[in-house]
Structure 1
């Protein structure tokens, strides 16, 4: 009878020890997952290394380079103490300030302008080179979360993942800082041709019919008359454009599978008699009348 009690006691102790060890092992694995590789689903989702007219930094009223981080988790992620760098051999180049969070399925833009402040926006202590370099996002313990090494970039053309957080990278002629990468993406920095104008901009004594053409001849041409940049939602050229008054035409070719070509701009001044020299300044209306950047700011 005493032997049976001893055996039962031994079995109970072994079972308790096994459960305890299993629980301890679970805690170790869980802690490792939270503190090590793959801590959160955070991605360098898009960047622009040469910003000329895309979007303006409200803190400095300047067109600066930027990096966008995407949080693919279903919960807020606190980035306090994390690091961004443009040199993977120097992971702790710029530390993200305290209190910076990304909501679930959301985006956060960092200005890579070397200003190194956290005002209404976030500004790193480095710039990214349009000639090509690297970007890295590191945890507060120095673990690599995501990185991107890239070659030469084009002005106002961003590079990003599509869909967001995906492994594939594309080029965007319509960057989407702070939002999903839903605009048309292109596999390489291959550009469409430039449109040909039948008349050069200038002063004319009578109305004219403006013809636009492209190579190849079937490539769509989109144009605007308000100074804005032509896009695929702009007017598509199909027949000669009547120029009867002062008119600004900005046109761009969109070949299939290629980035849109250079924007060609011509100003036409009709039936205006002046003795002084005349010049035309054309810009996006938002840059002239906008609340963040314009003549009244």
Structure 2
């Protein structure tokens, strides 16, 4: 492997230094003093062109077998266990290659480039050595000096499988950032002089291009004039040149949007460097050879976020990667930001979405609009907002934001919850723990997926015991939303299911990437039957739907639930109101957003105007209006559940509780409109916590569930009373 002289290394050689100070950071996270085997050196390429590796060292006086030890790139679980009986002599080295192969001395994962973590577990399962790294220069390694017991330092010449060199580089101090800014991040209306200060005895180095301050960065000596949009990063520095963790502030001029603003800050090389930049085409991409553009990789790079909103500002640090499938090819790319670590699983401790009280997140997604980019811009988000809080499956909350990238306007994005393990657990109120995640039709239909141990579905009687491993309400809602949406990009793709390994929840389903639903790009018209694709894919690859649909009880439950959603969740009046509100939120931004990007994309976007955007919204409105009647016809033709007959339900409430129809909440206790005439609708009176259901005012002795026949009006009052504990509290 060629050892390249980076700018940092050239600076060191020019100064004749054997030891220098770098902006990279390495922090030992756990260390067992009694462990004979430790992590001694790691090498991370960052571009997938060279093998990453981890070197272990035996610091004991006797030989040690490595069989049963485990390496990981996620300190919360043992990723890969050594199966072969490698014997490590005293003072010996053993290198494991991190290439994802999972065989012999090739581990089953790849290291995160530039920044990440590495851990070593003993055969007993204890974490005996670990460290995190951030800002590691390419072609350098991170190793202990002296071997086995010393601190980690950066080495310009990696020494794979042999003793580390004394010539090394100290890393950025892991202490906090004692730099004070005279002004917080925010929107600015007039130029000002920025004052930076540090405790006595420390200097300050700063940058204004997004890069981390280093020994060669400008030295602060006088107030810095800020008269245009600027990101400032500053680090305290000791007289010996040791750098502290940097602080970052974003100052935006001329930004008058009413939307929240997210300032994304990272070193420019992390974005644009031809070999390691995640936004760059890369050498092969520029030459037009193959599909190896940098942005196709899931490389993660350090990032800082400044969130600016009238509701309150906050900051977060983490790692960022390009997100998505085909939408990665857009010049405005989606960005996934991970703000989680072993010490702080939820790096964002703020509320992100109006109406959602949750205030802890392990990451977020800045979504470019996917296939709806520059068309409707929020077709997927509209469908999530439409069903959020009304379905049992997992949805992705949304709010529109304006993004700046290293101080440059980067357009309109959808701020979304990133559907990763810790966020999923938090939204269900569960502690951090391992989960099983199935991603894609192949995994969902595999022998490890939700249907792996599912017995045959009976054609008569109760189907639910066959679905014992699944959350049935979540399944019914998930299939109902996807089929009503008419999403043609499903179920072969864009399908995810998960569950905690502890058994705390049954299999759950995640709605995502609905850009082609509601007659989006290459979508289905409102009158197209969405069930044909499920019948064409029997078994797990078709979500067992065709097998379940042979059971009449399942057909009743699914069709009745979907029918209630059509009168409530998908009701045209409600859906159009939500669509108009969402369009109103972003309408003031669309002209600027379109002008920012239409010149950078294909000819079909070059002549895009806000008028075209409005026309695309009208196409979406047309689907909203036509789909309910069309779906009723489809349900009858496909399942024989009868033509449309009006249902009329009006339930008042006495005391605290709610009314559900087929598991769907009736906010005002009403259900009006056409449903399949061959289906009864099941109403449920559900008491609030601390209350009990006492009965129906007009139907003494009837339990909390009652069936309503279409064509026969139902009107009554559900009575809820405090339970005994509630009365005692009162």
**TM, length-normalised to structure 1:** 0.49
Name whichever structure is richer in helix by fraction. 2
Higher relative contact order, structure no. (Cα contacts within 8 Å, ≥ 6 residues apart) = 1
**TM, length-normalised to structure 2:** 0.23
